[in-house]
Amino acid sequence: MSFYATAEHEKEKLQHFASPEGRDDLYQYNQKERRTVLEVLEDFPSVQMPFEWLVQLVPPLKKRAFSISSSPLAHPNQVHLTVNIVSWTTPFKRKRHGLCSTWLVALDPQESRGVVIPSWIHRGCLPPPPPSLPLILIGPGTGCAPFRAFIEQRAVQNTKGPTSPVLFFFGCRSQESDFLYEHFWLSHSQNHGVLSKEKGGGFFVAFSRDQPKKIYVQHKIREESARIWRLLNAGAAIYIAGSSTKMPTDVTSAVEDVIVKESGMSKESASRWLRALEKAGRFNTEAWS
Ligand SMILES: Cc1cc2nc3c(=O)[nH]c(=O)nc-3n(C[C@H](O)[C@H](O)[C@H](O)COP(=O)(O)OP(=O)(O)OC[C@H]3O[C@@H](n4cnc5c(N)ncnc54)[C@H](O)[C@@H]3O)c2cc1C
């Protein structure tokens, strides 16, 4: 870019960014602030770059991954997504928005010419469980997305034959603001639904901000230690989905505590026990940032 800058101060600034001494400043300006190509061109208006160069410099858009949150049995020929509309504030207090989620939320499903969403379907890290497999599902926030699909699928399977119990642990900030699919989970927890007590299942929700002391899914997991241990002994698989920041580590530690409490093993042995479960394909995680 500096080659095409005609204003001297812009050329100098761009050359500084490209130098080893300017590396930290470039990181602050570019990565930390998540500047777009358009914003950079607006910050350096004297840069008159030939269009062919610009096309070569701009990287192609990355694909965004979203978990399928509907069951093919319950909704044949449909794919439902559960999308968090990404937004955050940069260190210089600039409001940033996720590209794909912001685009998706602005689409109008009533659009008369129809809506086209370019999509590709890839196999994820969570193997679809057979109806006979007891399940312990842990999916706070949009981590509930794949588990909505699992529970819908099992509910349909349950109308055709016997299915194994499901425990589902969900977490969000508050019951009022972000209790995703509230009616769906609660209805499957009643009337012999797949999450109901009668079916050996359970739905446990942690509202982190609805009381002075924060409560997360890992607290609910520890509270339900006896039921979790019983289901693990019945051959259950554990599935975890959601934010990769701290959640999978905290949840794994809570499950280890459950094993320690209920079996009398040491924490190290509980950790080895879980690793063996993972090797056997019965401990699966899909986490994202
Ligand atoms: C296998 C898999 C399954 C997924 N399933 C789902 C799902 O079901 N639902 C769902 O909502 N998401 C899901 N995700 C996450 C989703 O793919 C990302 O959040 C995606 O980047 C959103 O696209 P976007 O274009 O809206 O945001 P982008 O334009 O890609 O912006 C998101 C990026 O912005 C940055 N960013 C975001 N917040 C901050 C912050 N506070 N501070 C600094 N930087 C920040 C991060 O680099 C982040 O990667 C999944 C990811 C994977 C890998």
**According to the model, what pLDDT value does residue 84 have?**
96
Instruction: Please name the residue whose Cα sits nearest to atom 46 of ligand 1.
Output: 289
Question: What domains can be seen in the chain, in order of their start residue?
Answer: 2-57 (no CATH), 135-288 (3.40.50.80)
pLDDT tens profile 45-103: 999 999 999 999 898 999 999 999 999 999 999 999 999 999 999 999 999 999 999 99
Residue ranges in the chain modelled with pLDDT below 50:
none
| pLDDT score for 194 | 97
User: Which pLDDT does position 254 carry in this prediction?
Assistant: 98
Render the chain in DSSP notation, one character per residue: -GGG--SHHHHHHHHHHHSGGGHHHHIIIIIITT--HHHHHHHSTT----HHHHHHHSPPPPP----B-S-TTTSTT---B-----EEE-TT--EEE-HHHHHHHH--TT-TT-----------SSPPPPTTS-EEEE--GGGGHHHHHHHHHHHHHHTTS----EEEEEEES-TTT--TTHHHHHHHTSTT-TTSGGGT-EEEEEETTSSSS---HHHHHHHTHHHHHHHHHTT-EEEEEEESSSHHHHHHHHHHHHHHHHH---HHHHHHHHHHHHHTT-EEEEEE-
pLDDT value for 109: 87
Q: What is the pLDDT of residues 77-88, one digit of tens each?
A: 999 999 999 999
Looking at residue 112, what is its pLDDT?
82
Nearest alpha carbon, ligand 1 atom 32: 98
Which pLDDT does position 66 carry in this prediction?
Answer: 97
CA of 62 to the centre of ligand 1 (A): 11
Q: Which atom of ligand 1 is nearest to the CA of 84?
A: 11
What residues line ligand 1, using a CB cutoff of 6 Å?
Answer: 64-67, 82-84, 86, 88, 98-101, 124, 142, 145, 286, 288-289
Q: What is the residue with the minimal CA distance to atom 48 of ligand 1?
A: 289
ipTM of this predicted complex?
0.97
Q: Given ligand 1 and candidates 79, 86, 89, which is best to mutate, with the most ligand atoms within 8 Å of its CB?
A: 86
